[in-house]
Amino acid sequence: MSAAGSAAANRSAPLPANRPALGPDRPLTILHITSPAPVGGLERVVQLLAAGHVADGHQVHVVAVLGPGDDARPFLEPLLDAGVTVHPLALAGRAYLDERRRVRALAAALAPDVVHTHGYRPDVLDAPVARAAGVPTLTTVHGFTGGDARNRVYEWLQRRAFQRFDAVVAVSEPLVALLAAGLAWAYSAYRTTTGRQRLRAVAVVSLAYVLAIGGAVAARAVTHTSQPTDTITVGMVQGNVDGVGLEAFGRARSVTNNHMSETVTLMAQARAGLLPVPDFVLWPENSTDIDPILDTETKQVVSTATKIAGVPILVGAVTDGPGAYERQTTALWWDPVTGPGAIYHKRNLVPFGEWIPLRAQLLPLVPMLKLVGAQSVPGNGPGVLSGDVPQHGTTRIGVLICFELAYDQTVREMIQGDASTGGGAQLVTVQSNNATYAGTGQISQQWAITRIRAMETQREILVATTNALSGYIAPDGTVVYETHQRTPASTSVVMPVRNGLTPAMRFGAGIELALVAIAVAALAAAAWRSRPARAAAPAVGQNGTAPSS
């Protein structure tokens, strides 16, 4: 017989027909099939079910579908201890036909009374094998995780497969309600409608699947906006803040000294091989509250720090001006040879923290507002600095200063750039000073906003604060490194240089407006369709009475 003929015979061979009839005293032969993860709720349910069936006197077999490199011991060992017969099916990647063939052969040998599948892969691939041979099939629905486009497609296929099972069991009441509502609505919509209404019902279901799967595909398509053109190692310094208070001039100098001291620690670790040697160093907002350009002592401290580092430092400073009794919150590129260079001034200022609305009117009424100090003046233009990074040349470094994280337009303009910056940010950094909020929920709130910005820009973000939370966040929002509050800390990370734009950064508010417009249109359509029907007016004859039939 040819190989093709043998395969055809295997596919069409019936399961043994001489199984004894079911009865109250005959134990069942139960075959569970799953593709287990190392540990999880699904795996634990299978273990408990199988062990319980064995305790009730049934013959229980569990098939574990395994891919290359899968370690099934954590799943299989408890089953063996419970007296369950296990059948590991080690397969090459995507060997779906081989999987169906081996499940078919195993089911033919065991002649199970029921095949119980768990998870989308056995539901879609293996349960049809049992049904084709006349074996009752049962599935347990353990939940839906969503995830990437491929996973959503699998779950969509799984849902469609449920209607072919003899029984579907859900592990929780919310799942029961979800499945029942979805199946009942779809069945009712199809059976109780005709013509255009039926087409509309089918279109609604199809659109829901397209949006669910298409959304995942679109999200996956922009996971990385571009391949890195370079990598730059950036040092991060969290120098810490001594004591409390808002106005002490001496404390302002101590904060700058703390950051110089922690820079020494960072470079010592890097030169000892404990950390990557940085190409430049990031200091936080307010790492100096005294203008380092005008104040000789502060300028000396910052210059010394850059010479110790041997690379530029992106300093967070408060600079004087542009007018009398005015100031600006500034990101300042400081080169160890040429000194201060490119500057960005914070655009989105904190009211009553950095500036006082209606200052002339409110100061006489609320004298405490004097603690705010000089009136801060917002800057102009995107938060992009062009810095000359040693061994890498001119690089566009994006800067968001603290409160600016909350402003969509500020973030978009930093990523997009303009003619004055020569393009958008290639690296993204955040400078922040949360010292007065230590121990409050503001710290976690701002950290969460930063993670969202990493996801919507699809860029790595390095954060430096005076005393936490500082850290490094990946484009998917994963926290790679995080400091503790009220402590000095430093590290260095290798950051990819990127140039692309996500849809959120390219189209910005247009996407939000489009979604709002769709929602408004849907509400309007629903209101229109649900309006009370007007009673039909009777026809009137020439004499003012209804015509007789």
CA distance 228 to 453: 19
pLDDT band at 531 (very low <50, low <70, confident <90, very high): low
Taking the CA atoms of 210, 216, 220 and 225 in sequence, report the sign of the dihedral they define: positive
Higher local confidence (pLDDT), 535 or 51: 51
Q: Which of 99, 354, 402, 460 is catalytic?
A: 402
As given in the structure block, the two tokens for residue 132 are 């084709």
230-506 classified as CATH 3.50.50.60: no
Higher local confidence (pLDDT), 164 or 172: 164
Q: Which of 99, 155, 299, 346 is catalytic?
A: 346
Element (H, E) at 232: strand 230-238
Predicted confidence (pLDDT) per residue in 280-320, tens digit: 999 999 999 999 999 999 999 999 999 999 999 999 999 99
Which conformational region is residue 146 in: left (phi greater than 0), alpha (psi within -120 to 50 degrees), or beta? left
Give the pLDDT score at 104: 92
Helix 149-162 with 195-221: angle, nearest 10 deg = 150
Catalytic: 43?
no
Average pLDDT of span 363-368: 90
Domain boundaries, the chain: 24-171, 230-506
Q: Which of 99, 155, 285, 413 is catalytic?
A: 285
CB atoms within 10 A of CB 164: 13
This prediction's pTM: 0.60
Give the pLDDT score at 213: 46
Q: Among 13-22, 188-197, 231-240, 457-466, name the one with the lowest average pLDDT.
A: 13-22
Average pLDDT of span 145-173: 76
CA distance 301 to 279: 20
Catalytic: 402?
yes
Element (H, E) at 160: helix 149-162
Give the pLDDT score at 246: 46
At CA 146, angle to CA 144 and CA 147, rounded to 5? 140
Element (H, E) at 395: strand 393-401
Catalytic: 346?
yes
Average pLDDT of span 10-23: 46
The answer to whether 126 and 135 have CB atoms below 8 angstroms apart is no
Long-range contacts of 118-121 (CB under 8 A, 24+ apart): 118/32, 118/33, 118/34, 118/42, 118/45, 118/46, 118/142, 119/34, 119/35, 119/42, 120/154, 120/155, 120/157, 120/158, 121/35, 121/65, 121/154
Q: What are the φ and ψ backbone dihedral angles of 66, each rounded to 5 degrees?
A: -120, 140
As given in the structure block, the two tokens for residue 363 are 């100061």
CA distance 334 to 346: 17
Query: What SS3 state is found at 488?
Result: coil
Tell me which DSSP letter residue 336 carries: T
pLDDT band at 179 (very low <50, low <70, confident <90, very high): low
Average pLDDT of span 175-179: 57
pLDDT above 70 for 157: yes
Pick the CATH number of 24-171 from 3.40.50.300, 3.40.50.2000, 3.90.1330.10, 3.30.70.20: 3.40.50.2000
CA distance 125 to 118: 11
